[in-house]
Structure formats: structure tokens, C-alpha cells
Structure 1
Amino acid sequence: MSNPTPQRADYPHFQPITTRWHDNDAYGHVNNVTYYSFFDTAVNTYLIQVGGLDIHDGEVVGFVVSSACDYFASIAFPDLIEIGLRVGKLGNSSVQYELAVFKVGEAEACAAGRFVHVFVDRASNQPVPIPPGLRAALQRLAI
């Protein structure tokens, strides 16, 4: 049995993304690897703007340790899209994000993905508890 296509109503936060000319591949649609860039952009924008993540000088950084994506419908430049973001699992030092790509104004996702961040100490690369500000921001997205 296949999973139903994710719906816009399933996501508490959206990050607008503008597709770019060079996102299209030889087949005339956004290449599959570009979706991972969209996901990374949506998550890190949220972490910086809402969670206060300091990507340049902060003591903690997030490493992606797992990722996947399923595709339902094509997108292509110049589509305007939004990345739906939610948290599926929040651990001590890790978080699993669940994301979906929506064309602006459409209810059904064109793609859905997930990835796991493990937060580590920048100097040692060892896992550390998620800092309180980031944890609070992530809890807002928990399903």
C-alpha cells in the first residue's frame, strides 16, 4: 500500500523558494538532487531566523546523517514553490525533519523528503544536546 501524497495542511511552517534557470535538467524539470538543496535551505533558514543558530561562529553545528526523497509531480523553472517543514522526531542531540515541496497555491505536494540532523560541538565534532533556543524552535514544528 502506498502512502498518500502529503497535503499542505500537514505542515506548520513554509519557506518560499524561487526556482532558478539552472535547476532544470535536460528533461526540462528540476533535477532530483536540487530538492535536497531546497530542503537544506528551508531548514537552515528556519534554524537561523527562528532558532538563533549561528552558522559562522556558534559552538554547535548540525550534520546531516540521513536523507531521502519521494517524488510525485514535476516542478520546473520558473515555478514558485514553498517547502513545508515539520519535525517528526526530536531527540536529545538529533532531529528528523519532514519536508514537502508545494507549488504556490497547490494543496498536494510534488515531493516529500526527510533528513536527520545530529547537532555536534563545532570543535570536537562530538554530539551534544540540542541547545535550548534551537530545541524550542524545533518543538514548534513537532507533529
Structure 2
Amino acid sequence: MTNDANRNRASFPVFDEITTRWADNDLYGHVNNVTYYAWFDSSVNRYLIEEGGLDIHRGDNIAYVVSSSCDYFSPIAYPERVEAGLRVEKLGNSSVIYNIGIFRQGEDEACALGKFVHVFVDRETDRPVPVPQGIRTALEKLLVQ
């Protein structure tokens, strides 16, 4: 389980603004759990593209999600505006473990905390490769000790 310090806004170096959509709500009146995973994927990949230079269409290397999970603490519902905080828990040779906190705008404690693991692979061979240098440099900025 997660301790409270890990859920604090101050422990995330970068944020991505998200607008909930009507379709995100489920029959229970809150954002469905699968939507959080889409937010994780979008936030991580946006950072990799914009800050690390990941070329998702023509690059030699791509990243596969090999594991993901989420702990939920309080519900979110449309029409709330939320932010995804991003940090790196561990940066390995060919893999990275991200933590993504989902926050209501202006709140200090995450409503949900995700873990997301990428392995970088060669697009042609599907074999693991070292994290490309530009991406590694971008990810090092998010590494939280």
C-alpha cells in the first residue's frame, strides 16, 4: 500500500492537465477505472514525445507497457478538471517504472496513484534495448529518490 507522502503533489516534478469527459463516468456516477489507465498512458507518452524526443511513428525504438496497476483513494466525476503528476521510481538499463498521481486541480493529495512499467525495445526485433539517451536524460529529471 502507499504511504501518504507518496500521494503528495510535492513529490511529483511534472504535471499534465486533463479534462474529464461525459463518457468517462460509469453507472456509479464516477470516472471508471479503465479511464485512469488511459490517462497514465497519455501522460507518460506525451512526456516522452515532448521532452525525450520519442518518435512513435518512425523511431527505431519503442516502449511497451509490461505492467500497470492503480490504487484508488477517492472518486473523480465529470466535469472535474484533474492533473496527472508524473515521476520516475526506477530507471533501469532498458526499463523504467513510473508513478502517476491523479489529482483534482488545486488539491495536494492524489485521488489515485498508478504504477506503469515500460520496456524499451527495437521496433524491428522486439528485443529490449537500452533506454535511448534523449529519453534517459528526460527521465532522469523525474527520478525521485
Task: Please state which band the TM-score falls in when normalised by the shorter chain.
Answer: over 0.9
What is the Cα-based RMSD across aligned positions, in Å?
A: 1.1
Residues in 2 aligned to 1:71 and 1:2: alpha-carbon distance in whole angstroms: 10
**Aligned-pair CA distance for 1:3:** 2.4
Residues in 1 aligned to 2:134 and 2:48: alpha-carbon distance in whole angstroms: 9
Confirm whether residue 3 of structure 1 aligns to residue 14 of structure 2.
Answer: no
| 3-state SS in 1 of match to 2:70 | strand
Instruction: Give the counterpart letter for 1:105 in structure 2.
Output: G
Residue by residue over 1:33-86, the C-alpha shift from the partner in whole angstroms, topping out at 9 and shown as x without a partner, is 110000001000000000000000001100000111000001011110000000
Residues in 1 aligned to 2:23 and 2:98: alpha-carbon distance in whole angstroms: 26
Residue by residue over 1:92-133, the C-alpha shift from the partner in whole angstroms, topping out at 9 and shown as x without a partner, is 000000110000001111000101000000011100001110
Partner of 1:12 in structure 2?
13
Residues in 2 aligned to 1:52 and 1:31: alpha-carbon distance in whole angstroms: 31
Question: Aligned residue pairs: how many?
Answer: 143
TM-score, length of structure 1 as denominator length: 0.97
Instruction: Give the counterpart letter for 2:3 in structure 1.
Output: N
Structure 1 stretches of 4+ moved >6 Å: none
Partner of 1:72 in structure 2?
73
The percent identity for this pair of structures is 61
Q: Which moved more, 1:4-13 or 1:27-36?
A: 4-13
Residues in 1 aligned to 2:20 and 2:123: alpha-carbon distance in whole angstroms: 32
Confirm whether residue 102 of structure 1 aligns to residue 103 of structure 2.
Answer: yes
| 3-state SS in 1 of match to 2:128 | coil
- Taking a change above 3 Å as real, the CA distance of residues 8 and 89 of structure 1, as seen in their structure-2 partners, is same
Residues in 2 aligned to 1:123 and 1:76: alpha-carbon distance in whole angstroms: 41
| 3-state SS in 2 of match to 1:50 | helix
- Please, which runs of 5 or more residues in structure 2 have no aligned partner? none
Partner of 1:30 in structure 2?
31
TM-score, length of structure 2 as denominator length: 0.96
**Aligned-pair CA distance for 1:2:** 6.1
| 3-state SS in 2 of match to 1:49 | helix
